[in-house]
Structure 1
Amino acid sequence: MSVQNLMNKVVVVTGGSAGLGEQICYEAAKKGAIVVVCARRINLIGKVKERCEELSGKPAFDYQLNVADPENVEHVFEKIQAEVGSIDVLVNNAGFGIFENFVDINMDLAKNMFEVNILGMMFFTQKTAIQMVEKGHGHIINIASMAGKMATAKSTVYSATKFAVLGFSNALRLELKPAGVSVTTVNPGPIHTEFFDKADPSGDYLSSIDRLVLDPNKLAKEIVNAMGTCKREINRPRAMEVAARFYTLFPHIGDFLAGGLFNKK
Protein backbone atom coordinates (compact mmCIF):
# COMPACT_ATOMS: atom_id res chain seq x y z
CA MET A 1 0.00 0.00 0.00
CA SER A 2 1.56 3.29 -1.08
CA VAL A 3 0.33 6.80 -0.42
CA GLN A 4 -1.23 6.80 -3.89
CA ASN A 5 -3.66 4.08 -2.87
CA LEU A 6 -4.82 5.26 0.55
CA MET A 7 -8.10 5.52 -1.32
CA ASN A 8 -10.78 3.69 0.70
CA LYS A 9 -8.22 2.45 3.24
CA VAL A 10 -9.30 2.56 6.89
CA VAL A 11 -7.05 4.91 8.87
CA VAL A 12 -7.60 5.02 12.64
CA VAL A 13 -6.12 7.94 14.60
CA THR A 14 -6.17 8.05 18.40
CA GLY A 15 -5.95 11.45 20.02
CA GLY A 16 -7.53 12.76 16.83
CA SER A 17 -9.63 15.58 18.27
CA ALA A 18 -7.00 18.34 18.07
CA GLY A 19 -3.38 19.19 17.33
CA LEU A 20 -1.23 16.77 15.34
CA GLY A 21 -3.83 14.00 15.45
CA GLU A 22 -6.49 16.27 13.96
CA GLN A 23 -4.17 17.31 11.13
CA ILE A 24 -3.26 13.67 10.39
CA CYS A 25 -6.97 12.93 10.05
CA TYR A 26 -7.40 15.73 7.51
CA GLU A 27 -4.33 14.80 5.47
CA ALA A 28 -5.44 11.15 5.29
CA ALA A 29 -8.91 12.26 4.23
CA LYS A 30 -7.39 14.32 1.41
CA LYS A 31 -5.86 11.07 0.11
CA GLY A 32 -9.29 9.42 0.00
CA ALA A 33 -8.97 7.39 3.20
CA ILE A 34 -11.89 6.36 5.38
CA VAL A 35 -10.86 8.13 8.57
CA VAL A 36 -11.77 6.93 12.06
CA VAL A 37 -11.31 9.65 14.68
CA CYS A 38 -10.83 8.43 18.25
CA ALA A 39 -10.42 10.68 21.29
CA ARG A 40 -11.76 11.34 24.77
CA ARG A 41 -13.41 14.67 23.93
CA ILE A 42 -16.65 13.71 22.28
CA ASN A 43 -17.53 17.40 21.81
CA LEU A 44 -14.62 17.77 19.36
CA ILE A 45 -14.42 14.50 17.41
CA GLY A 46 -17.72 15.09 15.59
CA LYS A 47 -16.36 18.28 14.04
CA VAL A 48 -13.20 16.48 12.89
CA LYS A 49 -15.26 13.63 11.44
CA GLU A 50 -17.43 16.06 9.45
CA ARG A 51 -14.40 17.86 8.05
CA CYS A 52 -12.86 14.53 7.02
CA GLU A 53 -16.04 13.67 5.11
CA GLU A 54 -15.87 17.02 3.32
CA LEU A 55 -12.24 16.45 2.33
CA SER A 56 -12.56 12.80 1.27
CA GLY A 57 -16.10 12.67 -0.08
CA LYS A 58 -16.40 9.42 1.85
CA PRO A 59 -17.88 8.35 5.17
CA ALA A 60 -15.79 9.04 8.28
CA PHE A 61 -16.38 7.76 11.80
CA ASP A 62 -15.84 9.00 15.33
CA TYR A 63 -15.62 7.10 18.61
CA GLN A 64 -15.08 8.35 22.12
CA LEU A 65 -11.97 6.57 23.37
CA ASN A 66 -10.05 6.62 26.64
CA VAL A 67 -6.91 4.61 25.88
CA ALA A 68 -6.17 4.32 29.61
CA ASP A 69 -9.28 2.12 30.00
CA PRO A 70 -8.69 -1.39 28.53
CA GLU A 71 -12.42 -2.20 28.52
CA ASN A 72 -13.16 0.97 26.57
CA VAL A 73 -10.34 0.19 24.12
CA GLU A 74 -11.75 -3.29 23.50
CA HIS A 75 -15.28 -1.91 23.07
CA VAL A 76 -14.17 0.73 20.54
CA PHE A 77 -12.01 -1.75 18.62
CA GLU A 78 -14.93 -4.14 18.29
CA LYS A 79 -17.22 -1.32 17.13
CA ILE A 80 -14.70 -0.32 14.46
CA GLN A 81 -14.53 -3.91 13.22
CA ALA A 82 -18.32 -4.18 13.09
CA GLU A 83 -19.17 -0.73 11.71
CA VAL A 84 -16.16 0.23 9.58
CA GLY A 85 -14.09 -2.86 8.83
CA SER A 86 -10.53 -4.01 9.32
CA ILE A 87 -7.89 -1.37 10.02
CA ASP A 88 -5.25 -0.66 7.37
CA VAL A 89 -3.33 2.06 9.22
CA LEU A 90 -3.29 2.73 12.97
CA VAL A 91 -1.80 6.00 14.21
CA ASN A 92 -1.22 5.89 17.97
CA ASN A 93 -1.18 9.60 18.71
CA ALA A 94 -2.98 9.82 22.08
CA GLY A 95 -0.72 11.00 24.87
CA PHE A 96 0.13 13.81 27.25
CA GLY A 97 3.05 15.15 29.25
CA ILE A 98 3.71 17.21 32.35
CA PHE A 99 6.98 19.09 32.78
CA GLU A 100 7.89 19.14 36.47
CA ASN A 101 10.87 18.22 38.61
CA PHE A 102 10.60 14.55 39.53
CA VAL A 103 10.75 15.29 43.27
CA ASP A 104 7.61 17.43 42.88
CA ILE A 105 5.51 15.34 40.50
CA ASN A 106 2.32 13.65 41.68
CA MET A 107 2.84 9.90 41.27
CA ASP A 108 -0.82 9.31 40.46
CA LEU A 109 -0.26 11.62 37.50
CA ALA A 110 2.89 9.68 36.59
CA LYS A 111 0.91 6.43 36.68
CA ASN A 112 -1.75 7.91 34.41
CA MET A 113 0.92 9.08 31.97
CA PHE A 114 2.16 5.49 31.61
CA GLU A 115 -1.42 4.20 31.24
CA VAL A 116 -2.12 6.65 28.41
CA ASN A 117 1.24 7.01 26.64
CA ILE A 118 2.37 3.37 26.59
CA LEU A 119 0.06 0.76 28.18
CA GLY A 120 -3.11 1.90 26.43
CA MET A 121 -1.23 2.23 23.15
CA MET A 122 0.09 -1.33 23.53
CA PHE A 123 -3.39 -2.70 24.20
CA PHE A 124 -4.92 -1.07 21.10
CA THR A 125 -1.88 -2.02 19.02
CA GLN A 126 -2.03 -5.70 19.99
CA LYS A 127 -5.65 -6.01 18.90
CA THR A 128 -4.92 -4.23 15.62
CA ALA A 129 -1.70 -6.18 14.97
CA ILE A 130 -3.47 -9.53 15.32
CA GLN A 131 -5.92 -8.48 12.62
CA MET A 132 -3.18 -7.06 10.37
CA VAL A 133 -1.08 -10.23 10.62
CA GLU A 134 -4.11 -12.28 9.58
CA LYS A 135 -4.56 -10.03 6.50
CA GLY A 136 -0.83 -10.01 5.70
CA HIS A 137 -0.51 -6.23 5.52
CA GLY A 138 -0.96 -3.05 7.53
CA HIS A 139 0.92 -0.12 9.02
CA ILE A 140 1.24 0.94 12.66
CA ILE A 141 2.55 4.45 13.31
CA ASN A 142 3.48 5.31 16.89
CA ILE A 143 3.92 8.95 17.85
CA ALA A 144 6.86 8.90 20.24
CA SER A 145 9.01 11.99 20.92
CA MET A 146 12.51 13.38 20.81
CA ALA A 147 12.16 13.14 24.59
CA GLY A 148 12.44 9.38 24.09
CA LYS A 149 15.84 9.83 22.44
CA MET A 150 17.27 12.67 24.49
CA ALA A 151 15.88 13.16 27.99
CA THR A 152 16.03 16.59 29.60
CA ALA A 153 15.35 17.92 33.09
CA LYS A 154 11.69 18.22 34.12
CA SER A 155 10.68 15.51 31.63
CA THR A 156 11.60 12.45 33.71
CA VAL A 157 8.26 10.64 33.58
CA TYR A 158 7.30 11.83 30.10
CA SER A 159 10.70 10.80 28.73
CA ALA A 160 10.37 7.41 30.44
CA THR A 161 7.06 6.78 28.67
CA LYS A 162 8.49 7.79 25.30
CA PHE A 163 11.66 5.69 25.76
CA ALA A 164 9.20 2.83 26.36
CA VAL A 165 7.29 3.66 23.14
CA LEU A 166 10.56 3.55 21.18
CA GLY A 167 11.70 0.26 22.67
CA PHE A 168 8.29 -1.31 22.12
CA SER A 169 8.10 -0.06 18.53
CA ASN A 170 11.60 -1.22 17.60
CA ALA A 171 10.91 -4.76 18.82
CA LEU A 172 7.44 -4.82 17.27
CA ARG A 173 8.87 -3.75 13.91
CA LEU A 174 11.10 -6.83 13.87
CA GLU A 175 8.29 -9.14 14.94
CA LEU A 176 5.74 -7.92 12.37
CA LYS A 177 7.99 -7.41 9.35
CA PRO A 178 7.81 -11.08 8.24
CA ALA A 179 4.01 -10.79 8.27
CA GLY A 180 4.04 -7.78 5.93
CA VAL A 181 3.11 -5.25 8.63
CA SER A 182 5.19 -2.05 8.94
CA VAL A 183 5.92 -0.12 12.13
CA THR A 184 7.04 3.51 12.05
CA THR A 185 7.94 5.75 14.97
CA VAL A 186 7.54 9.51 14.75
CA ASN A 187 9.84 11.43 17.07
CA PRO A 188 8.87 15.10 17.09
CA GLY A 189 10.34 17.82 19.19
CA PRO A 190 7.97 20.53 20.45
CA ILE A 191 4.91 21.06 18.25
CA HIS A 192 2.76 24.16 18.28
CA THR A 193 -0.36 22.45 19.70
CA GLU A 194 -2.45 22.49 22.86
CA PHE A 195 -0.22 19.72 24.26
CA PHE A 196 1.69 22.51 25.95
CA ASP A 197 -1.44 23.96 27.58
CA LYS A 198 -1.05 21.11 30.09
CA ALA A 199 2.68 20.43 29.84
CA ASP A 200 3.78 24.08 30.07
CA PRO A 201 0.88 26.29 31.24
CA SER A 202 3.12 29.37 31.50
CA GLY A 203 4.05 29.25 27.81
CA ASP A 204 7.65 30.10 28.70
CA TYR A 205 9.07 26.87 27.24
CA LEU A 206 7.60 27.32 23.75
CA SER A 207 8.60 30.97 23.57
CA SER A 208 12.19 30.11 24.58
CA ILE A 209 12.61 27.58 21.74
CA ASP A 210 10.52 29.30 19.10
CA ARG A 211 12.91 28.44 16.24
CA LEU A 212 12.61 24.70 16.97
CA VAL A 213 8.82 24.49 17.29
CA LEU A 214 7.20 22.34 14.59
CA ASP A 215 4.17 23.16 12.45
CA PRO A 216 1.61 20.34 13.01
CA ASN A 217 0.26 20.70 9.46
CA LYS A 218 3.65 20.08 7.84
CA LEU A 219 4.46 17.16 10.14
CA ALA A 220 1.04 15.60 9.51
CA LYS A 221 1.65 15.70 5.74
CA GLU A 222 4.97 13.94 6.20
CA ILE A 223 3.40 11.25 8.37
CA VAL A 224 0.56 10.60 5.91
CA ASN A 225 3.02 10.48 3.00
CA ALA A 226 4.82 7.68 4.87
CA MET A 227 1.68 5.56 5.22
CA GLY A 228 2.01 2.26 3.43
CA THR A 229 5.82 2.47 3.29
CA CYS A 230 8.49 0.71 5.35
CA LYS A 231 9.87 3.95 6.78
CA ARG A 232 11.51 3.23 10.12
CA GLU A 233 11.44 6.66 11.77
CA ILE A 234 10.51 10.28 11.20
CA ASN A 235 12.64 12.59 13.36
CA ARG A 236 11.93 16.33 13.48
CA PRO A 237 13.26 18.98 13.78
CA ARG A 238 16.54 17.98 12.18
CA ALA A 239 18.58 20.00 14.69
CA MET A 240 17.21 17.84 17.51
CA GLU A 241 17.81 14.68 15.48
CA VAL A 242 21.48 15.62 15.16
CA ALA A 243 21.63 16.41 18.88
CA ALA A 244 20.04 13.03 19.69
CA ARG A 245 22.70 11.25 17.64
CA PHE A 246 25.40 13.13 19.55
CA TYR A 247 23.62 12.14 22.75
CA THR A 248 24.06 8.46 21.87
CA LEU A 249 27.56 8.60 20.38
CA PHE A 250 29.09 11.15 22.75
CA PRO A 251 27.27 10.93 26.09
CA HIS A 252 29.16 13.77 27.79
CA ILE A 253 28.47 16.15 24.90
CA GLY A 254 24.91 14.84 24.87
CA ASP A 255 24.47 15.74 28.53
CA PHE A 256 25.78 19.21 27.76
CA LEU A 257 23.27 19.66 24.92
CA ALA A 258 20.37 18.16 26.88
CA GLY A 259 21.22 20.19 29.95
CA GLY A 260 21.76 23.48 28.14
CA LEU A 261 20.88 24.18 24.53
CA PHE A 262 17.76 21.98 24.43
CA ASN A 263 16.71 22.38 28.06
CA LYS A 264 14.56 25.48 28.29
CA LYS A 265 11.75 24.16 30.51
Structure 2
Amino acid sequence: MNNYKALKNLENKVVLITGASSGLGEQIAYQVAKRGAIVIVTARNLDKLKMVAKSCTEFHGKKAYAIRMDMSNPDDIENAVETIKQCIGKIDVLINNAGFGLMQNAIDFDMQQAEAMFRVNVLGMMYLTQYVALQMAEEHCGVIINIASMAGKIATPKSAIYSATKAAVIGYSNALRLELKKLGISVIVVNSGPIRTNFFNTADQTGNYLEKVKKIVLNPELVAEKIVKTIGSNKRELILPGFFKVADIGYALFPKLGDFLTENVFNKK
Protein backbone atom coordinates (compact mmCIF):
# COMPACT_ATOMS: atom_id res chain seq x y z
CA MET A 1 0.00 0.00 0.00
CA ASN A 2 1.88 3.09 -1.26
CA ASN A 3 -0.42 5.83 0.03
CA TYR A 4 2.67 7.90 0.88
CA LYS A 5 3.21 8.54 -2.84
CA ALA A 6 0.39 11.07 -2.63
CA LEU A 7 2.74 13.21 -0.55
CA LYS A 8 5.02 13.83 -3.52
CA ASN A 9 2.98 17.02 -3.88
CA LEU A 10 3.52 18.91 -0.63
CA GLU A 11 0.94 21.62 -1.29
CA ASN A 12 -0.92 22.20 2.02
CA LYS A 13 0.66 19.13 3.62
CA VAL A 14 1.84 19.46 7.23
CA VAL A 15 5.58 18.89 7.65
CA LEU A 16 7.20 18.71 11.10
CA ILE A 17 10.98 19.25 11.28
CA THR A 18 13.04 18.90 14.46
CA GLY A 19 16.31 20.73 15.06
CA ALA A 20 15.15 23.41 12.65
CA SER A 21 16.51 26.58 14.26
CA SER A 22 19.63 26.47 12.08
CA GLY A 23 21.72 24.34 9.74
CA LEU A 24 20.23 21.41 7.84
CA GLY A 25 16.87 21.55 9.62
CA GLU A 26 16.45 25.21 8.71
CA GLN A 27 17.25 24.52 5.06
CA ILE A 28 14.82 21.58 4.93
CA ALA A 29 12.14 23.91 6.29
CA TYR A 30 12.77 26.37 3.46
CA GLN A 31 12.69 23.62 0.83
CA VAL A 32 9.31 22.25 1.93
CA ALA A 33 7.95 25.79 2.33
CA LYS A 34 8.87 26.53 -1.30
CA ARG A 35 6.74 23.53 -2.26
CA GLY A 36 3.68 24.93 -0.51
CA ALA A 37 3.81 22.87 2.70
CA ILE A 38 2.49 24.01 6.06
CA VAL A 39 5.74 23.98 8.02
CA ILE A 40 6.20 23.29 11.74
CA VAL A 41 9.73 23.92 13.00
CA THR A 42 10.86 22.76 16.43
CA ALA A 43 13.97 23.17 18.56
CA ARG A 44 14.86 24.63 21.96
CA ASN A 45 15.66 28.16 20.74
CA LEU A 46 12.23 29.71 20.16
CA ASP A 47 13.57 33.08 19.02
CA LYS A 48 15.53 31.51 16.16
CA LEU A 49 12.59 29.25 15.32
CA LYS A 50 10.29 32.24 14.94
CA MET A 51 12.70 33.76 12.42
CA VAL A 52 12.80 30.50 10.45
CA ALA A 53 9.00 30.24 10.50
CA LYS A 54 8.69 33.84 9.30
CA SER A 55 11.02 33.11 6.37
CA CYS A 56 9.02 29.96 5.51
CA THR A 57 5.83 32.03 5.30
CA GLU A 58 7.53 34.50 2.97
CA PHE A 59 8.46 31.72 0.54
CA HIS A 60 4.91 30.62 -0.28
CA GLY A 61 2.53 32.67 1.84
CA LYS A 62 1.49 29.63 3.89
CA LYS A 63 1.27 29.78 7.67
CA ALA A 64 4.35 28.37 9.40
CA TYR A 65 4.59 27.47 13.08
CA ALA A 66 7.46 27.64 15.57
CA ILE A 67 7.11 25.32 18.57
CA ARG A 68 9.72 24.96 21.28
CA MET A 69 10.53 21.30 21.94
CA ASP A 70 13.36 19.74 23.94
CA MET A 71 14.11 16.34 22.38
CA SER A 72 15.72 15.14 25.62
CA ASN A 73 12.43 15.56 27.52
CA PRO A 74 9.66 13.00 26.77
CA ASP A 75 6.99 15.16 28.43
CA ASP A 76 8.01 18.13 26.31
CA ILE A 77 7.74 16.00 23.18
CA GLU A 78 4.31 14.66 24.11
CA ASN A 79 3.01 18.14 24.93
CA ALA A 80 4.31 19.54 21.63
CA VAL A 81 2.66 16.75 19.64
CA GLU A 82 -0.64 17.31 21.45
CA THR A 83 -0.43 21.05 20.76
CA ILE A 84 0.13 20.35 17.06
CA LYS A 85 -2.78 17.92 16.96
CA GLN A 86 -5.17 20.35 18.62
CA CYS A 87 -4.08 23.58 16.93
CA ILE A 88 -2.79 22.56 13.49
CA GLY A 89 -3.94 19.04 12.64
CA LYS A 90 -2.43 15.76 11.52
CA ILE A 91 1.23 15.54 10.53
CA ASP A 92 1.83 14.25 7.00
CA VAL A 93 5.64 14.27 7.01
CA LEU A 94 8.01 13.98 9.99
CA ILE A 95 11.68 14.82 9.54
CA ASN A 96 13.77 13.82 12.57
CA ASN A 97 16.81 16.05 12.23
CA ALA A 98 17.63 17.09 15.81
CA GLY A 99 20.91 15.77 17.19
CA PHE A 100 24.39 16.64 18.38
CA GLY A 101 27.81 15.05 18.56
CA LEU A 102 31.20 15.39 20.21
CA MET A 103 34.54 14.23 18.81
CA GLN A 104 36.34 12.62 21.72
CA ASN A 105 37.97 9.30 22.59
CA ALA A 106 35.53 6.88 24.20
CA ILE A 107 37.68 6.26 27.30
CA ASP A 108 37.81 10.00 28.02
CA PHE A 109 34.13 10.64 27.31
CA ASP A 110 31.91 12.16 29.99
CA MET A 111 29.22 9.51 30.30
CA GLN A 112 26.62 12.05 31.36
CA GLN A 113 27.26 13.71 28.01
CA ALA A 114 26.95 10.32 26.33
CA GLU A 115 23.59 9.75 28.02
CA ALA A 116 22.43 13.20 26.91
CA MET A 117 23.44 12.39 23.34
CA PHE A 118 21.44 9.16 23.35
CA ARG A 119 18.43 10.97 24.83
CA VAL A 120 18.39 13.50 21.99
CA ASN A 121 19.73 11.52 19.02
CA VAL A 122 17.93 8.25 19.73
CA LEU A 123 15.34 8.18 22.49
CA GLY A 124 13.82 11.58 21.71
CA MET A 125 13.56 10.60 18.07
CA MET A 126 11.85 7.33 19.06
CA TYR A 127 9.34 9.05 21.37
CA LEU A 128 8.39 11.59 18.72
CA THR A 129 8.25 9.01 15.93
CA GLN A 130 5.94 6.75 17.94
CA TYR A 131 3.50 9.58 18.68
CA VAL A 132 3.44 10.77 15.07
CA ALA A 133 3.35 7.27 13.52
CA LEU A 134 0.25 6.42 15.56
CA GLN A 135 -1.50 9.43 14.02
CA MET A 136 -0.25 8.57 10.52
CA ALA A 137 -1.49 4.98 10.94
CA GLU A 138 -5.04 6.29 11.43
CA GLU A 139 -4.81 7.95 8.01
CA HIS A 140 -2.86 5.08 6.41
CA CYS A 141 -0.49 7.66 4.94
CA GLY A 142 2.71 9.39 5.98
CA VAL A 143 6.43 9.84 5.48
CA ILE A 144 9.07 9.63 8.21
CA ILE A 145 12.62 10.73 7.39
CA ASN A 146 15.33 10.04 9.97
CA ILE A 147 18.60 11.92 9.61
CA ALA A 148 21.33 9.48 10.62
CA SER A 149 24.94 9.67 9.38
CA MET A 150 27.63 7.72 7.57
CA ALA A 151 29.24 7.64 11.01
CA GLY A 152 26.57 5.10 11.92
CA LYS A 153 27.80 2.81 9.12
CA ILE A 154 31.53 3.54 9.02
CA ALA A 155 32.83 4.68 12.40
CA THR A 156 36.10 6.58 12.81
CA PRO A 157 38.26 7.28 15.87
CA LYS A 158 36.85 9.88 18.28
CA SER A 159 33.30 9.17 17.08
CA ALA A 160 32.46 6.06 19.14
CA ILE A 161 29.54 7.57 21.07
CA TYR A 162 28.12 9.59 18.21
CA SER A 163 28.50 6.65 15.81
CA ALA A 164 26.69 4.43 18.29
CA THR A 165 23.72 6.82 18.37
CA LYS A 166 23.53 6.99 14.60
CA ALA A 167 23.88 3.21 14.22
CA ALA A 168 20.88 2.98 16.54
CA VAL A 169 18.93 5.40 14.34
CA ILE A 170 19.74 3.30 11.26
CA GLY A 171 18.72 0.02 12.91
CA TYR A 172 15.53 1.54 14.25
CA SER A 173 14.64 3.03 10.88
CA ASN A 174 15.21 -0.20 8.98
CA ALA A 175 12.94 -2.20 11.26
CA LEU A 176 10.35 0.58 11.47
CA ARG A 177 10.16 0.70 7.66
CA LEU A 178 9.08 -2.93 7.55
CA GLU A 179 6.54 -2.49 10.35
CA LEU A 180 4.90 0.62 8.89
CA LYS A 181 4.90 -0.35 5.22
CA LYS A 182 1.52 -2.12 5.48
CA LEU A 183 0.10 1.03 7.08
CA GLY A 184 0.94 3.19 4.07
CA ILE A 185 3.82 4.93 5.86
CA SER A 186 7.25 5.35 4.26
CA VAL A 187 10.46 5.43 6.32
CA ILE A 188 13.61 6.89 4.78
CA VAL A 189 17.00 7.12 6.46
CA VAL A 190 19.57 9.74 5.42
CA ASN A 191 23.26 8.90 5.79
CA SER A 192 25.54 11.73 4.84
CA GLY A 193 29.12 12.78 5.30
CA PRO A 194 30.04 16.08 6.99
CA ILE A 195 27.72 19.04 6.29
CA ARG A 196 28.81 22.65 6.77
CA THR A 197 26.56 23.56 9.74
CA ASN A 198 26.79 24.72 13.35
CA PHE A 199 26.85 21.03 14.35
CA PHE A 200 30.65 21.24 14.35
CA ASN A 201 30.70 24.22 16.72
CA THR A 202 29.94 21.67 19.45
CA ALA A 203 31.30 18.47 17.92
CA ASP A 204 34.76 19.71 16.93
CA GLN A 205 36.59 21.27 19.86
CA THR A 206 39.69 21.90 17.73
CA GLY A 207 37.82 24.01 15.18
CA ASN A 208 39.87 22.49 12.34
CA TYR A 209 37.88 19.47 11.19
CA LEU A 210 35.82 21.11 8.44
CA GLU A 211 38.93 22.63 6.93
CA LYS A 212 40.67 19.24 6.90
CA VAL A 213 37.75 17.60 5.05
CA LYS A 214 36.77 20.60 2.93
CA LYS A 215 36.93 18.56 -0.30
CA ILE A 216 33.97 16.43 0.78
CA VAL A 217 32.01 18.84 2.99
CA LEU A 218 28.41 19.15 1.84
CA ASN A 219 26.33 22.29 1.32
CA PRO A 220 23.30 22.12 3.68
CA GLU A 221 20.98 23.75 1.13
CA LEU A 222 21.80 21.13 -1.52
CA VAL A 223 21.47 18.29 1.01
CA ALA A 224 18.09 19.64 2.09
CA GLU A 225 16.93 19.76 -1.52
CA LYS A 226 17.89 16.12 -2.08
CA ILE A 227 16.19 15.04 1.14
CA VAL A 228 12.91 16.76 0.27
CA LYS A 229 12.94 15.17 -3.18
CA THR A 230 12.76 11.72 -1.54
CA ILE A 231 9.32 12.48 -0.05
CA GLY A 232 6.70 10.37 -1.81
CA SER A 233 9.33 8.16 -3.45
CA ASN A 234 10.19 4.47 -2.97
CA LYS A 235 13.65 5.35 -1.68
CA ARG A 236 14.62 3.62 1.56
CA GLU A 237 18.00 5.29 2.06
CA LEU A 238 19.77 8.43 0.87
CA ILE A 239 23.58 8.37 0.98
CA LEU A 240 25.49 11.61 0.40
CA PRO A 241 27.87 12.28 -1.23
CA GLY A 242 27.31 9.54 -3.79
CA PHE A 243 30.79 8.00 -3.59
CA PHE A 244 30.06 6.96 -0.01
CA LYS A 245 27.80 4.27 -1.49
CA VAL A 246 30.95 2.57 -2.82
CA ALA A 247 32.71 3.08 0.52
CA ASP A 248 29.75 1.51 2.33
CA ILE A 249 29.79 -1.59 0.12
CA GLY A 250 33.58 -1.82 0.24
CA TYR A 251 33.64 -1.62 4.03
CA ALA A 252 31.11 -4.46 4.28
CA LEU A 253 33.06 -6.68 1.86
CA PHE A 254 36.58 -5.87 3.08
CA PRO A 255 36.26 -4.84 6.75
CA LYS A 256 39.96 -5.19 7.65
CA LEU A 257 40.97 -2.98 4.74
CA GLY A 258 38.16 -0.64 5.70
CA ASP A 259 39.49 -0.38 9.26
CA PHE A 260 42.99 0.34 7.97
CA LEU A 261 41.83 3.08 5.59
CA THR A 262 39.47 4.59 8.15
CA GLU A 263 42.18 4.73 10.81
CA ASN A 264 45.16 5.79 8.69
CA VAL A 265 43.82 7.59 5.61
CA PHE A 266 40.35 8.99 6.18
CA ASN A 267 40.59 9.90 9.86
CA LYS A 268 40.88 13.71 10.03
CA LYS A 269 39.85 14.29 13.63
Global fold match (TM > 0.5): yes
**One-letter amino acid of the counterpart of residue 106, structure 2:** F
Q: Which residue of 1 aligns with 2:217?
A: 213
Instruction: Show CA shifts across 1:140-169 (max 9, x none).
Output: 000000000101100000000000000000
1:50 aligns with 2:51: no
Give the TM-score normalised by structure 2.
0.96
1:186 aligns with 2:190: yes
Q: Which residue of 2 aligns with 1:95?
A: 99
Which runs of structure 1 show a deviation greater than 6 angstroms over 4 or more consecutive aligned residues?
A: none
Deviation of 1:4 after TM superposition, in Å, equals 5.1
Give the TM-score normalised by structure 1.
0.98
2:231 to 227, 232, 235: 227
Q: Which residue of 1 aligns with 2:135?
A: 131
* 1:66-77 matched pairs, under 5 angstroms: 66-77=70-81
1:85 and 1:58 mapped to 2: Cα distance?
15
- How many equivalent pairs are there? 265
Q: Which residue of 1 aligns with 2:42?
A: 38
Report SS of the residue matched to 1:182.
Answer: strand
Report SS of the residue matched to 2:215.
Answer: helix
Q: Which residue of 1 aligns with 2:19?
A: 15
Aligned sequence identity (%) = 52
Instruction: Show CA shifts across 1:169-202 (max 9, x none).
Output: 0000000001110000000110000000000132
Report SS of the residue matched to 1:212.
Answer: coil
Report SS of the residue matched to 2:106.
Answer: coil
1:257 to 249, 255, 261: 261
- Structure 2: give runs of 5+ residues left out of the alignment: none
Report SS of the residue matched to 1:211.
Answer: coil
* 1:132-171 matched pairs, under 5 angstroms: 132-171=136-175
Q: Alpha carbon RMSD of aligned pairs, Å?
A: 1.0
**One-letter amino acid of the counterpart of residue 84, structure 1:** I
1:242 to 234, 242, 246: 246
CA gap 1:56/1:65 in 2 versus in 1, 3 angstroms:
same
1:58 and 1:119 mapped to 2: Cα distance?
32
2:214 and 2:264 mapped to 1: Cα distance?
16
